[in-house]
Structure 1
Amino acid sequence: MSDTFNVVDHPLVTDKLSQLRDVATDMARFRSLMHDVSFMLGYEALRDWPMAKRSVETPLTTFDAPVREPLPLNVVSILRAGNGFLDGLLALERTARVGFVGLKRNEDTLLPEQYYLNLPDVSQGVTLVCDPMLATGGSSSHAVQLVKDQGAKDLKFICLLASPEGVAKFSKDHPDVPIFSASLDDHLNEKGYIVPGLGDAGDRLYGT
């Protein structure tokens, strides 16, 4: 497995992911769980945020307190299911700027094709690209390349589930971009779905 692939191994993440997988979980609960897991994945992905010192006056004294470097955070959703990450990630950092990448499959080449791109200035700060599934890796890899083409340098990819095939493809294309996932699942089936998986995340988020 790639050195840049990270499973966020925590009882709260694992339990909530199991609820997300459950076919009996309704749409409202699915959204709530996505919020919680997104927050925790983002927390781990930003663990290496650069730190600085700032003079802080407490009720007892003044000291040099550790604070984050004031860098911008950019969150980029791969439409449409990636939008399920936004509430959780914006709860983690409310000043984050949000961008969107829309991709569809070209029916002739079967390759991902851009139909929408709207990004903040990703050349500064940290950029999180999010999509619930890292399945074949084609769309995720293409989206990350589009973000790189706009000047992003400090990139991370976060997902709920990843397949071994998707991790291999993505890591080959982007060895400089770490992946943070709640699980590494077993395999892809003949339709390209992650198994055991959780079904179509977009359908379960939006009911369509």
Structure 2
Amino acid sequence: MSHAADHLTVVDHPLVQHKLTIMRDKGTPTAVFRQLLREISQLLAYEVTRGLPMTTKEIQTPMQTMSAPTLDGKKLALISILRAGNGLLDGVLELIPSARVGFVGLYRDEETLKPVQYYFKVPEALDDRLVIAVDPMLATGNSSVAAIDLLKEAGATNIRFLCLLAAPEGVARMREAHPDVPIVTAALDEKLNEVGYIVPGLGDAGDRMFGTK
């Protein structure tokens, strides 16, 4: 079960919440954190892909011929917002192995908290694809908004945003800048702290995933 408020969907499935709690625990080691992120991203992918366009095709079952449901349209595009987005990307790709993959490299200037772009490589024909942008943390929303800006400039019109944790400030910023982009997350946390981290949060997702702290 999930509950949605206008363009935000919080996936409150028991498995999602249980895995997220272990990820939040600062004693959880890197390898376990990474494995849980992969598992939770598959469960979130199930929700973010709800409502994909369908068509039918004729197949032969062992019993008879039937007209069976199958996905319609161009392969969807998964866009990882580097570097932490790669943790979500891996799990989603296991569920949708035929997806096209792109990367947006943004880092946060620690002085201004504004995003700076350093890499951008995305699949062709974004205007014909469902585009799912993934980043574990929706904190200030600045880098997410910048990434969506770039994807729209590249032609994307049907975009969804998938994250593990969201802060109210980030959700508000996204709603203001991109009201047409629905957000799917495992938790809406309390707030941002004075340095732009989500509270209670789980720390820096990239550092915890890659063991760089």
Confirm or deny a common fold (TM above 0.5).
Answer: yes
Structure 1: 5+ residue stretches without partners: none
**Aligned-residue CA RMSD (Å):** 1.4
Query: What is residue 194 of structure 2 aligned with on the other side?
Result: 190
CA distance in structure 1 between the partners assigned to 2:151 and 2:143 by the alignment: 12
CA contact (8 A) 1:2 1:167 kept: no
Q: CA deviation at 1:35?
A: 0.3
Further displaced range: 108-117 or 43-52: 108-117
Q: Which residue of 2 aligns with 1:80?
A: 83
CA shift for structure 1 position 124: 2.3
Partner of 2:63: 60
Report what 2:173 is aligned to: 169
- Written as runs of structure 1 = structure 2, the 5 A alignment for 1:75-114 is 75-106=78-109, 110-114=113-117
CA contact (8 A) 1:78 1:130 kept: yes
* TM-aligned CA deviation for residue 62 of structure 1: 1.3
One-letter code aligned to 1:88:
G
Pairs within 5 Å for 1:93-172: 93-106=96-109, 110-121=113-124, 122-172=126-176
Task: List gaps (5 residues or longer) in structure 2.
Answer: none
Q: TM-score, normalised by structure 2?
A: 0.93
Cα distance 1:88–1:110, how it changes in 2: closer, same or farther (>3 A)? closer
Q: Would the aligned equivalents of 1:2 and 1:168 in 2 still touch at CA under 8 Å? A: no
- 1:14 corresponds to 2:17: yes
Residue 65 of structure 1: how far off its partner (Å): 1.1
| CA distance in structure 2 between the aligned counterparts of 1:12 and 1:176, rounded to whole angstroms | 29
Q: Does 1:44 align with 2:47?
A: yes
The one-letter amino acid paired with 1:42 is A
1:2–1:136 CA distance, 2 compared to 1 (3 A): farther
Number of residue pairs the alignment of both structures matches: 208
Counterpart in 2 of 1:203? 207
CA 1:107–1:199: 2 relative to 1, 3 Å: closer
